[in-house]
Structure 1
Amino acid sequence: MFDSHVHTDFSGDSDMKIADAIKRADELGIGLVITDHMDINDYIKNRSGFDVDKFFEAYTKLRSDKLLLGIELGLREEAVERNVHLVNNYDFDFILGSTHAPYASKHEYEFFDAEVYVGKSKREAYEEYFRSMIRGVKENEYIDSLAHIDYIARYSRYDDKELYYNEYKPLIDEVLKEVALREKSMEISTRRIGNKTSADELMKIYKRFRELGGETVTIGSDGHYPGAIGANLKSGLEMAEACGLKPVYYKKRKIHFIK
């Protein structure tokens, strides 16, 4: 089993040392895919991600069948060419694509920030989020898996943050169709599936992914500290099985099935 979404201190929002991540994974008997953030945003000062050369210099010697080196790329219009350059010029095992910000916005705000919700109803904000995700999938063919479809439900500023599938069904279905059409994986993010309502809504989404032709999912904790690594992976596997989807991980950009 692999936790396919883990951040170390190359990510700006994580202080976790790679040694601590490896120790925790060994305790759990699982493999890790390191997916540090590369969120290029030309409207945030000094927002260009991490030094990829230093990343490989530090981690290549630790690479093994149980420790794989990926990257989480923020999908934004102005980042596409630079993302493609990274994918084509570095030896990543896995490319995870994420919608962290409005795709074509000309400001610094991301879906993590309160400012992105100012003056918008929940419906307006969530529809903007899914339209950004649709463009991200269509215009970034290089990704292997689409991360955390429910990311906005972590950080939006509404009384009820939950993502209800039936409220956004046409847009969510379009996301799922585009991922399935390109034979990419969806990620089952385990961050929120410990909550029954969240798990029930996500189950609807992943069942629909299967109905629309999707076949595979990666499973990841989005862990930023040792205690988060491996969280709810068993629940993620159970969700994949219930939805008829095959859990996988990527090594050298090739798909491997988790048995």
Structure 2
Amino acid sequence: MIDSHVHTEFSEDSQMKVQHALERSKKNNIGLTFTEHLDLKFSEGTDITFDIDKYFNDYEQYKKSNIMLGIEVGMQQNCFKDNRNIVQKYPFDYVIGSIHVAKGEDIYYPKFYEGKTKKEAFESYFSSMVDCVKQYDFIDSLGHIDYISRYGTYQDNEIHYHEFTEYINGVIKAVLHSGKVMEINTRRLGSKEAYINLTNIYKAYNQMGGKYVTIGSDAHHAEDIGNNFKEAIKICETCNLKPVYFNKRKMEYMSI
């Protein structure tokens, strides 16, 4: 098993020490791909980045068959070339492409949802996702399709497939057309409702031709590494999907 989405202290929003991550990995017999945050021109022109040279210099010693060094790229159209140049410059094992910003607005903060109906906010999010997946041809996997469900300010923040069918299908088509895969992000899979809704999305992914998924906890604390992986594997079995990970940018099958 490989947890393909882990943030250590190189990420601005994490204080996890690499040694704690490695201890958790060994204890639970689970491999890791570190995926530190890169969000250029994040909000009002600011950057969320890290010292990539130091990242490789410090962590190269830990690399082995089940410990890999990746990156999570915040996708926006206005920094496509900068993101591409960084990914091409460094020997990342794996590149996640994620949407944290929609139409220039940070999805994390309540301000994004002010004055918007759920339909308007979620459609803005999905529209940005489709545009970026089509453009970002250098990513390996689309991260956490349900990211907006973490932070929405509505009574019901869930992404119901029947509610956003056209937009979700548009995302899936863009992923498949680009030859990329989707991530099953396990952070919210402890919720029965989230599990059901995500299962419906990945059923559609498979029905439209999707075969492979990465699995990632999005852990920012060592104790969260590998969380809800049993539920992710159930989704794979239900939706006839093969869990994979990336090593040196090449897809490998995961043993489960």
Q: Following the alignment from structure 1 to structure 2, what is the Cα–Cα distance between the partners of residues 170 and 42?
A: 27
1:18-57 equivalence runs, <5 A: 18-41=18-41, 43-44=43-44, 46-57=46-57
1:67-109 residue CA offsets vs partner (Å, 9 max, x unmatched): 100000000112211111111110000000000001x42xxx4
CA deviations on 1:37-85 (whole Å, 9 max, x unpaired) are 0011254464241111111111111111121000000001122111111
Would you say the 8 A contact 1:181–1:213 is kept in 2? no
The whole-number CA distance in structure 1 between the counterparts of 2:242 and 2:140 is 14
Instruction: Tell me how far 1:243 sits from its aligned partner.
Output: 0.4
User: Which deviates the most, 61-70 or 35-44?
Assistant: 35-44
Contact 2:4 2:214 in 1 (8 A): yes
Q: Distance in 1 between matches of 2:146 and 2:186?
A: 10
Alignment of structure 1 residues 101-140 onto 2, 5 Å: 101-102=101-102, 104-105=103-104, 109-140=105-136
Aligned to 1:165, the other structure's residue is in SS state coil
Distance apart, 1:162 and its partner CA: 1.4
Helix, strand or coil at the partner of 1:149: coil
| Separation (CA, whole Å) in 1 of partners of 2:118 and 2:42 | 26
What are the equivalent positions in structure 2 for 1:210-229 lying under 5 Å apart? Answer: 210-229=206-225
4+ residue runs over 6 A deviation: none
Q: Is the 8 A contact 2:35 2:71 kept in 1?
A: yes
Q: Say if 1:212 and 1:22 are closer, same or farther in 2 by CA, change over 3 A.
A: same
Amino acid at match of 1:32: L
In structure 2, the residue matched to 1:100 is 100
1:172 corresponds to: 168
2:91 match? 91
Instruction: Judge conservation of contact 1:191–1:231 (CA < 8 Å) in 2.
Output: yes
Equivalent residue letter for 2:13: D
Q: CA deviation at 1:183?
A: 2.0
Gaps of 5+ in 1: none
**C-alpha separation between the residues in 1 aligned to 2:182 and 2:229?**
15
State the match for 1:253 in structure 2: 249
Give the Cα separation in 2 of the matches to 1:41 and 1:229: 29
Q: Is the 8 A contact 2:40 2:46 kept in 1?
A: no
- Alpha-carbon distance between aligned partners in 1 of 2:198 and 2:247, rounded to the nearest angstrom: 26
Residue from 200, 203, 226 that aligns with 2:199: 203
More deviation, 145-154/227-236: 227-236
Which whole-Å CA distance do the structure 1 matches of 2:59 and 2:145 have between them?
29
Q: What are the superposed Cα offsets for residues 104-159 of structure 1, whole Å, 9 maximum, x if unpaired? A: 42xxx411011111111111000000000001100101110000000000001112
Amino acid at match of 2:236: A
| Equivalence for 1:60 | 60
Q: Distance in 2 between matches of 1:60 and 1:86?
A: 18
Identity value in percent: 43
Separation in 2 of the partners of 1:244 and 1:211?
A: 9
The answer on whether the counterparts of 1:180 and 1:215 sit within 8 Å (CA) in structure 2 is no
How large is the Cα RMSD of the aligned pairs? Answer: 1.1
SS in 1 for 2:13: coil
Structure 2 distance, partners of 1:84, 1:224, is 25
- How many residue pairs are counted as aligned between the two chains? 255
Q: Deviations over 1:161-181 (max 9, x none)?
A: 111111000000010011112
Unaligned runs of 5+ in 2: none
Give, in whole Å, the separation in 2 of the partners of 1:163 and 1:173: 13
Tell me whether 1:183 sits opposite 2:185 in the alignment. Answer: no
With the length of structure 2 as denominator, give the TM-score of the two structures: 0.97
